Amino acid sequence: MSVAKTAQAEGPRIPFFWKRHVLALVLFGCAFGYLEAAVVSYLRYLHEPLRLRFYPSRSMGDLFPLLTPEQTATGGAQARKVFATEVGRESATIIMLAGIALAISTNLGQWTAAFAIAFGVWDITFYLFLRVLLGWPESLFTWDILFVVPVAWVGPVLAPVLVSAAMIAAGIWHLRREAFSNPVRLSARNWLCLIAGAAVIILSFTLDYAHVTAGGMPQRFSWAIFGLGMAIGALGYVEAAVRKERIPVEAAVR
């Protein structure tokens, strides 16, 4: 059977336009980052009267101390509804980012890379637009509430920005390799490193959640634990990215 007939039997190869896909993810991430920053700015004004009741000397730019569950309950049903809505908004954010990644991907590797790019761009532009809209954060070392699901994640702005930058870089590299039919193949060890690295990073953000949720001020961030998680994840991916595929002897002879 000729090569042409073989290709026809297998079906046409769908081209993967990685540059166009990356551009689409970046545009989506930027627009979503602005939308998220706008919603957060509304939420801060909405929460401000209740926060000033307990912390009258606190400026709007000071996110901490957080309102305790007991303090939030004094706001009545409306305050509880706003908090429940916030939890739902965070969950919807992840679903939307996963959805745009699914729209441009054809396999699990492409989806993971696309999600990483969309998430990273969204996160970084979110802080940039918050700076424009609210003049916050004051610096990269300003503490922020990153997520509230399932517990409060807190840390300096620089930490999630570093994670997002790494996700964008890895995601773009992964899609580029896919487009040139030279995909990065992640072994079980590589996946284990990525998952373990992510878990350690999340641990660094949640170590102080009980203290912060109880109305305390954030304590010193554990850059050592955070750096360990970043290193584990980065090494896991880089090892797969630079690994050369072994060509079977039979294939080499042919």
Residues, the chain: 254
Closest C-alpha to 32, from 99, 98, 123: 123
How far apart CA 62 and CA 64 sit, in angstroms, is 6
Residue ranges covered by each domain of the chain = 17-244
pLDDT at res. 137: 94
Residue 83 has pLDDT above 60, yes or no: yes
Kindly tell me the burial class for residue 210, based on how many C-beta atoms sit within 10 Å of its own C-beta (0-12, 13-18, 19 or more): exposed
> What type of residue is 201?
I
Average pLDDT in the 66-89 region?
A: 81
Euclidean distance between the first and final Cα of the chain, in Å? 17
Give 16's pLDDT tier (boundaries 50, 70, 90).
Answer: low
Closest to 26 measured CA to CA, from 104, 140, 109: 104
Neighbouring C-alpha atoms within 13 Å toward the C-beta of 63: 22
Q: What is the DSSP letter of 141?
A: T
113, 178 Cβ separation under 8 angstroms: yes
**Banded model confidence at residue 6, pLDDT cuts 50, 70, 90:** very low
Listing DSSP states for 155-181 in one string gives EETHHHHHHHHHHHHHHHHHHHHHHTT
Kindly report, residue by residue over 219-240, the tens digit of the pLDDT: 899 999 999 999 999 999 999 9
The tokens describing 158, both together, are 């620089």
Percent of the chain with pLDDT over 70: 89
pLDDT (mean) for 141-149: 90
Please give the model's pTM, rounded to 2 decimal places: 0.84
Distance CA 81, CA 16 (A): 44
Closest CA to 131 of 120, 121, 142: 142
Residue 28 near residue 100 (C-beta atoms within 8 A): yes
Q: 69: pLDDT confidence band, cut at 50, 70 and 90?
A: confident
